[in-house]
Amino acid sequence: MAFIATAAPGLAELGDTASPSPDHPAIAYFNYLKNTLRDPVSDLSRKLQQGAVQLQFESGKGYLRSVLEALHVPIESQMAVFSKTSLQSVRIEPRNPRTIFFNDSVSVAWVRGGFIELASHDPRQGVIFYSLERSP
């Protein structure tokens, strides 16, 4: 099992040749490929790879409860949204909302029948986006 970083910077075309490069230290969009990330999801991924933590797979919900517990995200933070802005917009409808759980440093989004989407704050790189497949 692996968390997949899905950071994809959107660079606007300004027609200005003075625009800084995505590698500029003030932006550093691609530094996560070079530097060790220190966000909660990266930390959890390292612990999983070392065998220090295991996630439990549940029928119907996949790793959701286990991920919430491992990231210290309270289940009480849940909110249901019907916005079609998810990568899984084809699954979202009034009978199947996207649920988002959160704490101060990570958000976990889930749609029944889909995969888990995560947004995790790294103190150096900002928000990093991840996905976790539903299969065991």
Q: How is residue 4 written in tokens?
A: 């997949």
Q: Where are the domains of the chain?
A: 23-132
Q: Is 64 helix (H, G, I), strand (E, B) or coil?
A: helix
What pLDDT is attached to residue 35? 66
Question: Rg (Cα) of the chain, in Å, rounded?
Answer: 16
With a cut of 50, list the residues of the chain below it in pLDDT.
7-12
Question: Does the reported pTM lie above 0.85?
Answer: no
Q: How is residue 118 written in tokens?
A: 């995560």
Distance (Å, rounded) from C-alpha 37 to C-alpha 126? Answer: 10
Burial class (CB in 10 A: 0-12, 13-18, 19+), 112: middle
What pLDDT is attached to residue 9? 46
